[in-house]
Amino acid sequence: MLQTLLMMILFAANLVHAAFNGQQEKRELSLDAAGVETIEIEAGAGSLDVTGIPGAGRILVVATIEVPDADADEAREIIEETLVLRLEKAGSRAALDGYFKDSRWSFRESPRVNLDVRVPAGLSLDIEDRSGPVDVRDVTGAIKLDDGSGSIRVAGNGGTLNIKDGSGSIEIERSGGDVTIDDGSGSIVIAGVEGSVTVTDGSGSIDVRDIAGDLVVMDDGSGSFDYSGVAGRVVAGN
Protein backbone atom coordinates (compact mmCIF):
# COMPACT_ATOMS: atom_id res chain seq x y z
CA MET A 1 0.00 0.00 0.00
CA LEU A 2 2.81 2.37 0.95
CA GLN A 3 4.64 1.58 -2.30
CA THR A 4 1.50 2.24 -4.35
CA LEU A 5 0.93 5.54 -2.55
CA LEU A 6 4.53 6.56 -3.16
CA MET A 7 4.23 5.80 -6.88
CA MET A 8 1.07 7.89 -7.10
CA ILE A 9 2.81 10.79 -5.34
CA LEU A 10 5.81 10.57 -7.68
CA PHE A 11 3.50 10.41 -10.72
CA ALA A 12 1.57 13.46 -9.55
CA ALA A 13 4.85 15.30 -8.99
CA ASN A 14 5.67 14.81 -12.66
CA LEU A 15 2.50 16.64 -13.67
CA VAL A 16 3.23 20.35 -13.78
CA HIS A 17 1.11 23.34 -14.63
CA ALA A 18 1.93 24.58 -18.11
CA ALA A 19 1.25 28.04 -19.53
CA PHE A 20 -2.28 26.89 -20.41
CA ASN A 21 -5.01 25.86 -17.96
CA GLY A 22 -4.16 22.19 -17.57
CA GLN A 23 -1.44 19.68 -16.82
CA GLN A 24 1.74 18.73 -18.64
CA GLU A 25 4.15 15.82 -18.35
CA LYS A 26 7.28 14.81 -20.27
CA ARG A 27 8.34 11.24 -20.99
CA GLU A 28 11.38 9.92 -22.84
CA LEU A 29 11.64 6.76 -24.94
CA SER A 30 14.75 5.20 -26.49
CA LEU A 31 15.34 2.25 -28.82
CA ASP A 32 18.43 0.63 -30.34
CA ALA A 33 18.18 1.28 -34.10
CA ALA A 34 20.52 -1.55 -35.15
CA GLY A 35 18.92 -3.41 -38.07
CA VAL A 36 16.01 -0.95 -38.33
CA GLU A 37 15.27 0.32 -41.84
CA THR A 38 11.85 1.94 -41.36
CA ILE A 39 10.07 3.60 -38.47
CA GLU A 40 6.28 3.69 -38.46
CA ILE A 41 4.78 6.57 -36.51
CA GLU A 42 1.13 6.83 -35.50
CA ALA A 43 0.38 10.19 -33.91
CA GLY A 44 -2.86 11.73 -32.71
CA ALA A 45 -3.53 15.33 -31.74
CA GLY A 46 -0.37 17.33 -31.13
CA SER A 47 2.78 18.37 -32.95
CA LEU A 48 5.21 15.92 -34.54
CA ASP A 49 8.85 16.87 -35.13
CA VAL A 50 11.20 14.32 -36.71
CA THR A 51 14.91 15.04 -37.19
CA GLY A 52 17.44 12.81 -38.94
CA ILE A 53 20.80 12.57 -37.17
CA PRO A 54 23.76 11.26 -39.25
CA GLY A 55 25.54 8.41 -37.51
CA ALA A 56 22.99 8.01 -34.72
CA GLY A 57 22.58 4.50 -33.33
CA ARG A 58 19.36 4.98 -31.39
CA ILE A 59 15.85 6.33 -31.87
CA LEU A 60 15.11 8.95 -29.22
CA VAL A 61 11.67 10.34 -28.39
CA VAL A 62 10.63 13.12 -26.05
CA ALA A 63 6.84 13.12 -25.59
CA THR A 64 5.19 16.16 -24.03
CA ILE A 65 1.75 15.12 -22.81
CA GLU A 66 -0.78 17.90 -22.32
CA VAL A 67 -4.20 17.58 -20.70
CA PRO A 68 -6.02 20.93 -20.91
CA ASP A 69 -8.67 22.05 -18.43
CA ALA A 70 -7.83 19.38 -15.87
CA ASP A 71 -6.44 19.21 -12.36
CA ALA A 72 -3.67 16.75 -11.41
CA ASP A 73 -6.04 13.95 -10.36
CA GLU A 74 -8.16 14.15 -13.50
CA ALA A 75 -5.09 14.40 -15.73
CA ARG A 76 -3.57 11.34 -14.07
CA GLU A 77 -6.78 9.35 -14.65
CA ILE A 78 -6.99 10.39 -18.32
CA ILE A 79 -3.34 9.54 -18.94
CA GLU A 80 -3.47 6.17 -17.15
CA GLU A 81 -6.67 5.06 -18.89
CA THR A 82 -6.38 6.43 -22.42
CA LEU A 83 -2.79 7.32 -23.35
CA VAL A 84 -1.01 5.10 -25.87
CA LEU A 85 2.73 5.78 -25.86
CA ARG A 86 5.19 3.10 -26.92
CA LEU A 87 8.31 2.55 -29.00
CA GLU A 88 8.96 -1.01 -30.18
CA LYS A 89 11.03 -2.93 -32.72
CA ALA A 90 10.09 -5.94 -34.85
CA GLY A 91 12.74 -7.08 -37.32
CA SER A 92 13.69 -4.24 -39.64
CA ARG A 93 10.81 -2.01 -38.55
CA ALA A 94 10.34 0.16 -35.48
CA ALA A 95 6.95 1.48 -34.39
CA LEU A 96 6.19 4.62 -32.41
CA ASP A 97 2.64 5.24 -31.17
CA GLY A 98 1.71 8.46 -29.40
CA TYR A 99 -1.98 9.33 -29.01
CA PHE A 100 -5.02 9.26 -26.75
CA LYS A 101 -7.47 6.48 -27.62
CA ASP A 102 -10.63 7.82 -25.96
CA SER A 103 -13.12 10.38 -27.27
CA ARG A 104 -14.93 11.31 -24.06
CA TRP A 105 -13.63 14.89 -24.29
CA SER A 106 -15.65 15.68 -27.43
CA PHE A 107 -17.12 18.78 -25.75
CA ARG A 108 -13.81 20.06 -24.36
CA GLU A 109 -10.31 20.69 -25.66
CA SER A 110 -8.76 17.29 -26.30
CA PRO A 111 -5.52 16.13 -24.69
CA ARG A 112 -2.53 15.90 -26.98
CA VAL A 113 0.89 14.36 -27.30
CA ASN A 114 3.66 16.50 -28.79
CA LEU A 115 6.39 14.22 -30.15
CA ASP A 116 10.01 15.23 -30.71
CA VAL A 117 11.70 12.31 -32.50
CA ARG A 118 15.40 11.90 -33.36
CA VAL A 119 16.23 9.06 -35.77
CA PRO A 120 19.27 7.85 -37.73
CA ALA A 121 19.21 10.00 -40.88
CA GLY A 122 19.01 7.06 -43.28
CA LEU A 123 15.80 5.54 -41.91
CA SER A 124 12.61 5.55 -43.98
CA LEU A 125 9.50 7.07 -42.40
CA ASP A 126 5.91 5.82 -42.59
CA ILE A 127 3.79 8.39 -40.74
CA GLU A 128 0.09 8.49 -39.95
CA ASP A 129 -0.82 11.76 -38.25
CA ARG A 130 -4.32 12.80 -37.26
CA SER A 131 -3.99 16.48 -36.45
CA GLY A 132 -1.39 19.07 -35.58
CA PRO A 133 1.71 20.43 -37.30
CA VAL A 134 4.29 18.03 -38.76
CA ASP A 135 7.93 19.03 -39.28
CA VAL A 136 10.46 16.58 -40.79
CA ARG A 137 14.10 17.59 -41.28
CA ASP A 138 17.24 15.95 -42.70
CA VAL A 139 15.86 12.43 -43.22
CA THR A 140 17.55 10.81 -46.23
CA GLY A 141 15.32 7.73 -46.46
CA ALA A 142 11.95 7.55 -48.23
CA ILE A 143 9.09 9.37 -46.50
CA LYS A 144 5.42 8.44 -46.61
CA LEU A 145 3.06 10.78 -44.75
CA ASP A 146 -0.72 10.44 -44.34
CA ASP A 147 -2.00 13.52 -42.51
CA GLY A 148 -5.49 14.51 -41.44
CA SER A 149 -5.08 18.20 -40.71
CA GLY A 150 -2.38 20.66 -39.75
CA SER A 151 0.59 22.22 -41.46
CA ILE A 152 3.36 20.08 -42.98
CA ARG A 153 6.97 21.10 -43.49
CA VAL A 154 9.64 18.77 -44.91
CA ALA A 155 13.20 20.02 -45.43
CA GLY A 156 16.38 18.29 -46.50
CA ASN A 157 14.93 14.87 -47.31
CA GLY A 158 17.04 12.63 -49.51
CA GLY A 159 14.62 9.99 -50.81
CA THR A 160 11.16 9.90 -52.34
CA LEU A 161 8.43 11.89 -50.59
CA ASN A 162 4.76 10.89 -50.72
CA ILE A 163 2.21 13.05 -48.91
CA LYS A 164 -1.54 12.56 -48.59
CA ASP A 165 -3.09 15.47 -46.73
CA GLY A 166 -6.61 16.44 -45.74
CA SER A 167 -6.12 20.10 -44.94
CA GLY A 168 -3.36 22.49 -43.96
CA SER A 169 -0.43 24.16 -45.65
CA ILE A 170 2.45 22.13 -47.13
CA GLU A 171 6.03 23.39 -47.51
CA ILE A 172 8.80 21.31 -49.11
CA GLU A 173 12.44 22.49 -49.25
CA ARG A 174 15.51 20.73 -50.66
CA SER A 175 14.11 17.34 -51.61
CA GLY A 176 16.51 14.78 -53.06
CA GLY A 177 13.92 12.53 -54.70
CA ASP A 178 10.56 12.55 -56.46
CA VAL A 179 7.72 14.33 -54.63
CA THR A 180 4.06 13.24 -54.84
CA ILE A 181 1.33 15.22 -53.08
CA ASP A 182 -2.41 14.50 -52.86
CA ASP A 183 -3.88 17.47 -51.01
CA GLY A 184 -7.43 18.35 -49.99
CA SER A 185 -7.02 22.02 -49.15
CA GLY A 186 -4.32 24.46 -48.15
CA SER A 187 -1.43 26.23 -49.81
CA ILE A 188 1.51 24.28 -51.28
CA VAL A 189 5.04 25.67 -51.62
CA ILE A 190 7.78 23.48 -53.12
CA ALA A 191 11.35 24.66 -53.69
CA GLY A 192 14.49 22.78 -54.69
CA VAL A 193 13.61 19.23 -55.79
CA GLU A 194 16.19 17.01 -57.50
CA GLY A 195 13.49 14.72 -58.93
CA SER A 196 10.02 15.26 -60.39
CA VAL A 197 6.92 16.67 -58.69
CA THR A 198 3.33 15.43 -59.03
CA VAL A 199 0.49 17.32 -57.33
CA THR A 200 -3.23 16.62 -57.03
CA ASP A 201 -4.90 19.50 -55.20
CA GLY A 202 -8.45 20.29 -54.12
CA SER A 203 -8.07 23.96 -53.25
CA GLY A 204 -5.37 26.43 -52.32
CA SER A 205 -2.45 28.12 -54.04
CA ILE A 206 0.46 26.18 -55.56
CA ASP A 207 3.95 27.70 -55.85
CA VAL A 208 6.73 25.52 -57.29
CA ARG A 209 10.35 26.57 -57.92
CA ASP A 210 13.62 24.98 -59.01
CA ILE A 211 12.65 21.45 -60.03
CA ALA A 212 15.24 19.22 -61.74
CA GLY A 213 12.63 16.89 -63.25
CA ASP A 214 9.05 17.22 -64.47
CA LEU A 215 6.18 19.10 -62.86
CA VAL A 216 2.78 17.45 -63.23
CA VAL A 217 -0.30 19.03 -61.66
CA MET A 218 -3.15 16.56 -62.08
CA ASP A 219 -5.90 18.75 -60.62
CA ASP A 220 -5.24 22.22 -59.29
CA GLY A 221 -8.80 22.76 -57.98
CA SER A 222 -9.19 26.39 -56.99
CA GLY A 223 -6.37 28.77 -56.24
CA SER A 224 -3.40 30.26 -58.04
CA PHE A 225 -0.71 28.15 -59.72
CA ASP A 226 2.80 29.58 -60.19
CA TYR A 227 6.05 27.90 -61.15
CA SER A 228 9.61 28.77 -62.20
CA GLY A 229 12.88 27.01 -62.79
CA VAL A 230 11.42 23.67 -63.92
CA ALA A 231 14.01 21.78 -65.99
CA GLY A 232 11.63 19.11 -67.32
CA ARG A 233 8.11 19.11 -68.68
CA VAL A 234 5.27 21.08 -67.13
CA VAL A 235 1.87 19.38 -67.40
CA ALA A 236 -1.20 21.00 -65.85
CA GLY A 237 -4.77 19.91 -66.23
CA ASN A 238 -8.09 19.67 -64.42
What's the pLDDT tens digit per position in 75-84?
899 899 999 9
Task: Answer yes or no: is pLDDT of 137 > 90.
Answer: yes
Alpha carbon 17 to chain centroid, angstroms: 25
pLDDT at 19 over 70: no
If pLDDT is split at 50, 70 and 90, which confidence band does 223 have?
confident
What is the mean predicted confidence (pLDDT) over 152-170?
Answer: 96
Q: Give the pLDDT confidence score for residue 101 in this predicted structure.
A: 87
**For 61-79, what is each residue's pLDDT tens digit?**
999 999 998 888 988 998 9
CA 7 to chain centre: 32
pLDDT tens-place string over residues 170-184: 999 999 999 999 999
Rounded mean pLDDT, 125-154:
96
Give me the residue spans of the domains in the chain: 16-119
